Amino acid sequence: MQYTPFASDIELPFYTSLASLKINHDKLDDSARKLLGLYEIRSADRPETSCRMQIHGTALTRDEVPAGYYRAEGMIKNVNTIEEYRNTDKNALLLQTGKTIWDAINDGTIYSCPSLLVSFVALSFADLKKYKFSYWFAFPAIHSSPSWTPVLDPKPLAGNESSTLVDAVQTWRYGVDARQHGFFLAKKDWHAANGSSSGTQPNREHVENQQPLSPIAKELGFSWKISSLAGFESGFFHEALPEDCFICFADPSNYPDAPGWMLRNLLVLVRQRWGLNEVQILRYRDVQSKRDQGRSIAIKLRSDAAQPGHDNSQFGSEMPMPKVTGWERNAAGKLTGRITDLTEYMDPRRLADQSVDLNLKLMKWRISPNLNLEKIKNTKCLLLGAGTLGSYVARNLLGWGVRKITFVDNGTVSFSNPVRQPLFGFNDCLGGGAKKAHRAAAALEEIYPGVDASGHVLSVPMPGHPITDASKAEREFEELKKLVDEHDAIFVLLDTREARWLPTVMGKATGKIVMNAALGFDTYVVMRHGVENSSAPETELGCYFCNDVVAPADSIKDQTLDQQCTVTRPGIAAIASALLVELFVSVLQHPDGPAAPASSPQQESHADHPLGIIPHQIRGFLSNFSNLIVSGKSYNCCSACSGNITDTYKQHGWAFVSKAVNERGYVEELSGLKEIQRAAEEASASIDFEESDFEEGDGEMI
């Protein structure tokens, strides 16, 4: 008779558990450890994959058996080197495990733990640097010699027989340990003519009061009685007809004529301890949810090694153990171990990568299948300002899977910062305060080690703030210029208006995505700057300065403390930052990128865009909890993005910046704003003159 061998089926979390146990607890100790194996009856599985020994993630740490599973008793020996794994005496390891089964059969301890009949051993080596696991499972089977052969064709149980058997087995299991569940005895208890149980044989006179019979039991004429294996020696089958007695085992094999591997050890028990040479085996293959399908099969087996009159009080403990086999074959059918490379799953950094991307990838299942996550992930972001806005923007960028984030800031963390700036803590304020740029980058890497975060302590040259150290200022400008060139998107998150001027100029001159956010007490503006569009310059969107009629200057001069500090409602920064990042991601998803035209709220249909409309500006008012979407065109006399400004910057670089910072009125003259101002003054003077003429003729009739 052929038997279906077990195949190991290991859950990925088990490798994590094994690695953690080796690193944190076992270290150099390679003693064998208990390992819980589980198998189940699954009628839907293909026969070749039905007999699986499952190793769950908690197999090393928990002993509970989930509902619907049967337990197997395992051991794992996780050695320290690959050489030890290769040189271990595999035959001795198999024989040692087989002897555990043999001894339990002979000394009777098998009755307290029948699951030993499904013992197994695993030899493993975990290469924790490369996250490669070498392992080999053995499922010892003690041979019966001579072998057992079927006497009759297998006989499936009828549906009603199966249904009552499942109910009886389930009732029995409630009162016994999980180690008993996989092996049991069953007999048919025939009813007397009056409909009550007769105890053993048909027409036997009823002598005891019995519980009322179910309709199915009345129809069958018998009820099932169930006992643990130990019941064999206490007379469970006494006076029962041989054809009504069954030795049962839970069989995961879906082959009709090849029982599961554990039957081999059960048959050794039948011969060695019970002295039987003919037996009726029941392959129990039914489950509670489908108990009327009748999948269980009765098979009658016979062996030539008859021992009539065998004395069950004298067991063959002195007999040598028969041959033992059971090493698992690999996928190619060879007797050798297996290697699982879990580099993609086990490295905590890679595991973090996969976890970070999980929610984003789930968006593509149904909600937004056209979302280009790789474009977001690969966009390099430069954050000018690592304060309140910078902290929130960085966290939102991480949420969208951005991997490259660079901070520029020249400030230090003060004691007022941590409560509003989520990348900093109390300890960052000590000792004069950590540099915001460096600490923000380090904080991002603590949150997610897979991010490429860096910080640069730089001062951004500002109009109205004369340069005191020219060489240092030029050096920092060149470093800032290099950073702008190396990144794809610039987030302007600085405190003052004049600090935003140079980044705006640089972004427009280099064609970068420029995202800008500014806060008031209960208001905010979130916007994207336009880029040059030579084919349709009239469609270019404006920048932060396009509505100004004066160039930026020193805005904090003569300000009181409440004016110098960024006094805002605490929630404003989080709201504005979130909107800014969402707007940025929407820009990335448009085919035209930063040149995408401005959308209006009325454009409800956005079938061509996975995330909806792409506004130019969002102005928020927390006093009435409202947002206003507006759009503005590029101004040809803008102090930051007009052609005269960007062209001069491209040609002269630092010389232009130095002059713009130090020389009052230069930017206005170059951009054309000065001419606009003069024209406005002339117009104003003209209006004043005309008004004075009217005053002189006040009351006259004309």
Give catalytic residue positions.
Answer: 565
Distance of alpha carbon 623 from alpha carbon 31, whole angstroms: 68
- How many Cα neighbours within 13 Å face the side chain of 156? 13
Amino acid found at 503: P
DSSP letter for 231, please: G
Residue among 423, 419, 415 nearest 397 (CA): 423
Rounded to an integer, what distance in angstroms lies between the CA atom of residue 396 and that of residue 584? 11
> Strand, coil or helix: what is 330?
coil
- Closest CA relative to residue 192, chosen from 217, 168, 160, 174: 217
Is 77 in contact with 89 (CB distance < 8 Å)? no
CA distance 496 to 501: 9
User: Helix, strand, or coil here: 527?
Assistant: strand
Give the residue among 233, 257, 232, 260 at the shortest CA–CA distance from 246. 232
In angstroms, the Cα distances linking 294 to 53, 284, 290, 300, 598 are: 24, 10, 9, 18, 68
Q: Given 3-state DSSP classes, what are the helix, strand and coil percentages for the chain, each rounded to the nearest 5?
A: 35, 20, 45
Interatomic CA distance for residues 667 and 288, integer angstroms: 84
Q: Give the ranges where 470-543 is alpha helix by DSSP (H).
A: 470-486, 501-510
Question: Of the candidates 575, 583, 628, 580, which has an alpha carbon nearest to the alpha carbon of residue 601?
Answer: 628
- What phi and psi, each to the nearest 5 degrees, are found at residue 204? -70, 140
